[in-house]
Structure formats: structure tokens, C-alpha cells
Amino acid sequence: MGVRGTVTRRFGADGSRALRSRWRTTTMAAGWAFPADWPLAEVDEVCRAVLEERDPSAELHRLGAARAEAGAGLAETLLDLAALHAVLAEPAGATGVVSPCVDATPSRMLRSTALGWGDVMSSRAADCAAEDPLTGLATPAYLRTRLREVYAEARAAGRQDHVLVLVALDLSRTSGWSRVVAMTLLAGALKEVFDGGETVAALGSSVACVLLRRDRHLARALTNLRVLTADRLAVDPHVAPTGPVRVRLEELPPTCEDAVAMVAGLGR
């Protein structure tokens, strides 16, 4: 496209700084709400990619993510992108006010930026939710909250009474929707066996856990869980190949930070 040469001719040798300044001015004129939030390291990365005539998709993805992290909405983020495109599309020698148009922005630029923004927002939504909508199990974010409460209680009591029950399914012989069905059946069994206020959470696509107090009934509950899960899985021929559920006890580590790291690793 010769963008680098065009920008250099228009603004001089320091094209990156000039492009950034013109981009910012255009975005501000279009109604960017918080001028102090606009400058980001990712803006400079996009400018460099454009001036070097490289595909800026990766840089735009990172810019979209950074805008989401900073609190910018999608409409605002795409208007800023449209301002960049409008500046790049200006004829050489243009100095007047340019009006950005999102609809005129190339779809590849829009897609990269919107995906970056959407990835951050999807992650935030998952982290803020307390319950998985498909299985009804608590989310890892809620489990982390409960772990902090449990460790605070342990410090006050001078002892740790809680343990984790880890439950995993082998889903290597299933695919697609059958995986979701299998985890939903497992969730039903978990909530039936542990129905006394324990925290029953999903750690990953095939792993769940129960945070509970250790007591004399725990061994019987684990046996009941194995039997009930096997019965539930056997009913559906599409999920029966998951095989027997794997159940084990996991002692909590000394600190809450270690526990949070542990459950994050177990969910992978």
C-alpha cells in the first residue's frame, strides 16, 4: 500500500510520532471520552507495524485487548480504529479534519481489534460469574473466594479442617456435545452426594472438585460418588466411554496462594 512512504512524505522522517499524533487528534475530534486513557504502548506498536508495511493484525488484537482492559467500550474502540484508518487513507498533503467511519474500515482490521477486545471481556465474564451456566457448578473464581475464606477461618482456629476432593473424567474417547453431557451428569452426582453446603466447583472441561470439611463420613461419600457417577454415565451410550470416574483426596497446602495456584494447575 506504500503507507510508510506516504506518511513519511506527509509528516517527515519521524513518521511514527506524526502518525500517532494525527491518529490521536482524529480520535479526540470524533468524541473519545477520556483523552488521558488514549495513549497506550499498543498504539505505538500498531504505528510501527503500519509504517513498516507489515500486517498489523497481531498488534491490533493486542490494542483491542488493551482498550478492553482500560475500560473502553467496543463502539469506542472501533471508532478509534476507524480514526486510524481514516488517517491512513488521507491523500498526501491533507491537513484538515478527517471524519472516521467504522463502516469504511477494512473487515480484517475490525475483526482483529474486536477479537482482542472480546477475548478480554469474555475472560472477565467467566471470572465474575459464580456458577457455570451449563453444569451448575461453581466457577473457579468462586472457588478462589471460598479458599480465601477457608484459610482465614483456619488462621483463626489454628488448624486446617478442609480438604479438596478432586474428580476427573477421561473424555479422550468422547467429543463435542458428549463432553458437556458427561460433565453435566457428573455435576448432578456431585451435588447429590455433597448437598450439605460444600463448595462444588468446576476446574476445567473434565475436572471438578469439592471443598469440604474432613469428617468420618468422607470415605463413604467418596464411595457413593463413584457408584452414582458410574450409574449416571452408563445411562447415556454417548458418554459411557468416559470410563470410571477418578476420585482422590488432596490436602490443602500451607498458604492460600499455594492453594489457588494448585487448583489452577489441576484444571488444565
Domain that holds residue 107: 3-128
pLDDT in tens, 18-31: 899 999 999 999 99
Q: Both 25 and 123 in a single domain?
A: yes
Q: Which of 79, 96, 128 is the last residue of a domain?
A: 128
Q: Both 114 and 148 in a single domain?
A: no
Tell me which long-range contacts 52-56 makes (C-beta under 8 A, separation of at least 24). Answer: 52/4, 53/1, 53/2, 53/3, 53/4, 56/109, 56/112
What pairing do the DSSP bridges indicate for beta strands 246-251 and 162-168?
A: antiparallel
Answer whether residue 4 shows pLDDT above 50: no
pLDDT in tens, 138-174: 988 899 999 999 999 999 999 999 999 999 888 776 6
Could you tell me if residue 105 is inside a domain? Answer: yes
Q: Both 120 and 67 in a single domain?
A: yes
pLDDT in tens, 199-256: 999 988 889 999 999 998 999 999 999 999 888 888 767 666 666 788 999 999 999 9
Answer whether residue 11 shows pLDDT above 60: no
Over residues 81-93, the mean pLDDT reads 85
Q: How many domains in the chain? A: 2
Q: Both 88 and 55 in a single domain?
A: yes
